[in-house]
Structure 1
Amino acid sequence: MNPKIAFFDIDGTLIDFDAPSLSPAVADALRRLRAGGTKVFLASGRPPYLLPKVKGLAFDGALCFNGAYGFDRKGPLCSAPIAKTDIRRMAENSERMGVPVLLAGAKTMGSNFYQKNLETYMSFAGHPNHVVDRETFQHLMADDIYQVMAGTWADQDAALLAGTAGVQPLRWWDWACDIVGKGSDKAVGAEKVLAAYGLPREACAAFGDGGNDKSLIAFAGIGIAMGNATDDVKACADYVTTPCSEDGVAAALSHFGWI
């Protein structure tokens, strides 16, 4: 029996890091999955305005900002912005450390200054590290911010988060990280989406490759890790498919008889 809903990470899962978009085989597999009655949701660290658009393929909804903000075609399903006191403290720490932070809201984003690591990190989503002037950055800090991207190495995270009370780093790349509110991750977001549809977790499947996918893969009724996933992600999975570069999503959907 097909899952009622399936959650898909984007980078390294649906789209290879060196590719501009989904491969034709993966796009066709998702179309066939939807045609069989499964809701297809994206589950990414990306904001809504950086989700992929594929001709002839519609998504039923998305979890953005690593689960902090979710929506379907009718509107929002979950929303957990970061406390503004924590946003201010991270911005202060950023200035002191000389490490930029990029604040991402539901409609726009901007960083306080340039850094090559953060520029490369944002390029995976096809978006530049958009540096804004101080006044614009202050306006951003007053908005609802769901995720902060920072060009830190893991051993710098503690200094950036010093004095905060309600945030946590989620890392899938060595040179930068995503920061979301404590209690926000892809599994928490997926649980809220399932509740909105009246579905148990056993009715969902999830696909991912990075550290920020571990909770979702472990939570799902069937959790599937990509062949290019790290060993700790694979250890959480019920099944390990082929790498993203070899159309692993399509291979897994075929393996389970869902397409």
Structure 2
Amino acid sequence: MTILQNDIPHRIKAVFFDIDGTLISFKTGKIPESTQNALKKLRQKGIKVIVATGRSINSLHHISHIEFDGFITFNGAYCVTTSQEVISRSIIDPADIRRLTRYAEEAPLSYSLMYEDKVEINDATEEVVGMYAHINIPVPPVHDKEHIDTENVLQANIFLRPEAEAEFMAKVMPNSTASRWTPLFADVNGGGITKQLGIEKFCSYFGIDTADTMAFGDGGNDISMLKFVKIGVAMGNANDAVKDAADYVTAEVDEHGIEQALMHFGLL
């Protein structure tokens, strides 16, 4: 879809941002100064600036120095305002978690379980340690296999290749939804949970029409929200599937992609 610069810049009321590969550079582990300034200017104009991430609510310290109006975390499973008001919370079906843990006892599979207050892994394998290093987050503790809380998991990270995902989900976690931003693992949430749903929750909370929204992303778990908002922007470092889902492709994170796109659409 082609969206012209002058179509609706005056109508945009909320902009949603992925974190890793969108706000934060994978190369530097930092948010470019141009991006920080752009977010500040949006809020000064009265535009809501909201995070939309697969990270847990307790893994946002890399962006804690920036003011936001809300947080879509766990890919839409946990939505909370800056005043800590939880507006949406959705767990994974406990039966799916029980099947996952049983499966991993019999087959070589690494996973993490993400809760409101903690993240646990089943094994500190090289791929797991490497993933957490990639996003600059400490490796979570290994859980006690005899005392796994299966009733309150908001998201799981399943370390399997894309070609094995469909069969695994159908067999082990049929009531859940998988998405991914890396070939290393899939983010798994409760059935129907996506960043799009998080946007719907925040639009309802703030009384904003979804036709007045914009979103930035770079990973597969961003596709639902890029298609849903009025203007979906893919970062230049996104893969082709994400770019195809977007209305506009901007420059990479380190090339001031967020600032460029906001200027392109007349929001700065």
Choose the corresponding residue for 1:24, options 20, 28, 33.
33
> 1:224, 1:238 within 8 Å by CA — same for their partners in 2?
yes
- 2:103 pairs with 1:110: no
Matched position secondary structure for 1:141:
coil
Choose the corresponding residue for 2:105, options 95, 106, 128.
95
Mapping of residues 55-134 of structure 1, within 5 Å: 57-74=66-83, 75-134=85-144
User: Once superposed, what is the RMSD of the aligned Cα atoms?
Assistant: 1.8
Structure 2: state its 5+ residue gaps. 1-9
Matched position secondary structure for 2:241:
helix
User: What residue in structure 2 maps to residue 155 of structure 1?
Assistant: 163
State the Cα distance separating 1:139 from its structure 2 match: 4.0
Matched position secondary structure for 2:147:
helix
Aligned residues: 257
State the Cα distance separating 1:27 from its structure 2 match: 0.7
Mapping of residues 32-71 of structure 1, within 5 Å: 32-54=41-63, 57-71=66-80
- 2:195 pairs with 1:186: yes
Matched position secondary structure for 1:50:
coil
Choose the corresponding residue for 2:265, options 228, 238, 256.
256
Matched position secondary structure for 2:58:
helix
TM-score of the pair, normalised by structure 2? 0.90
Matched position secondary structure for 2:192:
coil
Structure 1: state its 5+ residue gaps. none
State the Cα distance separating 1:156 from its structure 2 match: 3.1
Shift in CA distance, 106/27, structure 1 to aligned 2, threshold 3 Å: same
TM-score of the pair, normalised by structure 1? 0.93
> 1:82, 1:181 within 8 Å by CA — same for their partners in 2?
yes
> 1:152, 1:175 within 8 Å by CA — same for their partners in 2?
yes
> 1:78, 1:192 within 8 Å by CA — same for their partners in 2?
yes
- 2:16 pairs with 1:7: yes
Q: Which moved more, 1:109-118 or 1:55-64?
A: 55-64
User: Identity over aligned residues, as a percent?
Assistant: 33
User: What residue in structure 2 maps to residue 225 of structure 1?
Assistant: 234
Choose the corresponding residue for 1:146, options 132, 154, 167.
154
State the Cα distance separating 1:158 from its structure 2 match: 4.4
State the Cα distance separating 1:129 from its structure 2 match: 3.1
> 2:71, 2:82 within 8 Å by CA — same for their partners in 1?
no
